[in-house]
Amino acid sequence: MPFNLGTTGIGSHPIGNPERIILDILESGITVPYIPQLKTEEMVMQFHNQLPGLVFQRGRVKLNVNTPNFEKQLKSFKDLLKLKTLLLSPRGIEVSPEYFRGLFLFPELLVQTPTHYRGIKCQMTGPITEAASIKIYPGNNKLIQNSELFDIIVGLSSEIAYWLSTFLIRVASANNIPKENVILFIDEPLFPQAIESEISYDEALEKISNVLKLVQCRTGIHICDNPISVIDRILQYPFDIFSYDAIKYPNSLKSVRIDILQDYISRGGGIAFGITPNTPESTFGIENIPSIMKGDLNPEDFLPTPDDLIQTFNQNIEPLEARGIPLQQLLSQSLITPACGFRNFNIPDEEKGELFVKQLLQLQEQAAQKLRKEYDLI
């Protein structure tokens, strides 16, 4: 079943109530509901908290190698990963409910809805961003600079990806959603930055490839930063969906080598066009926020229309039409999303911000419906 510009989200929301968020997602009309990340959940700790010595202090994630029995615990953890690699222990490491509350509530609420969805989507932090984010304490070195610890992060990411993808497939099966429309995104916001300063292309993509080998469903990669410097290389790896901020970087696809893009499309690859604003600044205009906070302006007046989103979409695909890309095939394999997560949508406050998030998801689906008609996508 093709996605046909299916609509989904990136992950994060501005509040900490998982039931409220999931119901907002399911009621918004999007065709590929996603498992949300709560405002209170930290993306680095969320998926790698099993790593011995990992702590969250003062808003930062650190690996404290001075914790009691660290070396012993680390050796035991390495041995566990090795046993799984050798298939002497069952594959997969379960995500902790404490760190990902929406994951375990999502199936309960999804099965209660009368709507039949085209697919489901989840996300996890990728190994490059994970390793580049963690500082080793004592000291200030990044984990990505320690080859032994970096390999452990990759091994843990792989096992998490295996468990998470099999979990998603079971959820999809219970809701008559085909396995081929289950997507696990690897979120790599620091990928372009790390490539420039911390790691080579080949090593980075080798690490990510090791994770992808264990994913049992379709895979995507989300890049928050400017993707122009990395998109050619990424499209040559076995991702099914490439996700980017189409508002800030509308020329991203214009720079792709035509042969690479054509091969990617022929393999079934799609694009997640991030055309929906995801922050108060990009939605209301930074100059209007002080007056909105005072109550002098109505934020509803600044919400985009479906046609506004379509205009952004067209800016991104016009270069492809001129280059002879099989556009209908690409769009049938693609998604429409927000530019990034909604975590910071707290204007005029978090609760009202969540209301606007739901409206933006509704507007996103309305724009997609118009585009499906225009491109004859059923």
Q: Which two tokens stand for residue 85?
A: 């690699």
Q: Are strands 182-187 and 120-125 parallel, antiparallel or unpaired?
A: parallel
> With 80 as the cut, is the pLDDT of residue 87 above it?
yes
Provide the Cα torsion 33, 38, 44, 49; round to 10°: -100
Q: Residue 56: pLDDT band by 50, 70, 90 thresholds? A: confident
> With 80 as the cut, is the pLDDT of residue 1 above it?
no
Q: Is 139 left (phi over 0), alpha (psi -120 to 50) or beta?
A: left
Q: Are strands 120-125 and 135-137 parallel, antiparallel or unpaired?
A: unpaired
As a CATH number, domain 6-374 is 3.20.20.210
For range 300-309, the mean pLDDT? 96
pLDDT tens-place string over residues 239-264: 999 999 999 999 999 989 999 999 99
pLDDT tens-place string over residues 91-129: 999 999 999 999 999 999 999 988 889 999 999 999 999
> With 90 as the cut, is the pLDDT of residue 210 above it?
yes
Contact between 252 and 246 under an 8 Å Cβ cutoff? The reply is: yes
Q: What is the mean pLDDT of the chain?
A: 93
Q: What percent of the chain has pLDDT over 70?
A: 100
pLDDT tens-place string over residues 320-359: 888 889 999 999 999 999 999 999 999 989 999 999 999 9
How far is residue 107's CA from residue 162's CA, in Å, rounded to a whole number? 18
What ranges make up the beta strands (E) of the chain? 6-7, 54-57, 60-64, 120-125, 135-137, 182-187, 218-223, 241-245, 270-276, 335-338
Q: What percent of the chain has pLDDT over 90?
A: 81
Contact between 232 and 260 under an 8 Å Cβ cutoff? The reply is: yes
Domain residue limits, the chain: 6-374
Question: Looking at residue 201, what is its pLDDT?
Answer: 84
How far is residue 229's CA from residue 241's CA, in Å, rounded to a whole number? 18
Amino acid sitting at position 270: G
CA angle (157, 161, 162) in 5-degree steps: 120
3-state secondary structure of 173: helix
pLDDT tens-place string over residues 159-206: 999 999 999 999 999 999 999 999 999 999 888 888 778 888 888 888
| 135: exposed, middle or buried (Cβ count in 10 Å: 0-12, 13-18, 19+) | middle
Question: Looking at residue 175, what is its pLDDT?
Answer: 94
Q: Residue 38: pLDDT band by 50, 70, 90 thresholds? A: very high
Helices and strands (H and E) in the chain: how many: 15, 10
> CA 20, 23, 28, 33 torsion: positive or negative?
positive
Q: Which two tokens stand for residue 299?
A: 């934020």
